[in-house]
Amino acid sequence: MAAPEFLTPKTSPPTVGYSHVAKTNGLGIAFIAGQVPCDVSGKLVGEGDFRAQVEQVFANLKIAVEAAGGSMHDLLKLNYYLVASVDRAEQPVIREVRDRYVNVANPPASTLAVIHRLAQPGWLVEIEAVVALRG
């Protein structure tokens, strides 16, 4: 089996001490680190705006999945982390945005956790993923 490959796409937010993608060459799976609502410069997008943050997180997720050689339609698992301050009435925004990116006929397995806080102030949502790689 080939050695794993660790990637940080140039168009992803900067990282400190981790990679955006861990790709298992030979097994056909990539693990995508939690994607956050930051742009390529590391600046928070949509401060206080849950929808804007979900949009940015899915855009970042797509960048990471494609850098791994995968497709958003091949997502196997999504883990969502929402801060407790996000109103429950806003949670459907996640599915609305997600459905523009994933195979809705066969959506990925998912887990949603509501937590006290994320790593940086202002982040309302973080999403990590596992994707099947074809070929």
Where along the chain do its domains lie? 5-132
**CATH, range 5-132:** 3.30.1330.40
In this structure, are residues 29 and 133 in contact, taking their beta carbons and an 8 Å threshold? yes
Give pLDDT tens digits for 36-80: 999 999 999 999 999 999 999 999 999 999 999 999 999 999 999
* Res 7 pLDDT > 80: no
Quote the CA–CA distance of 99 and 46 in Å, as a whole number.
20
Specify whether the backbone of 59 is left (phi greater than 0), alpha (psi in -120 to 50) or beta: alpha
Nearest to 81 by CA among 91, 72, 71, 68: 91
Give the pTM.
0.92
Structure tokens at 119: 């790593």
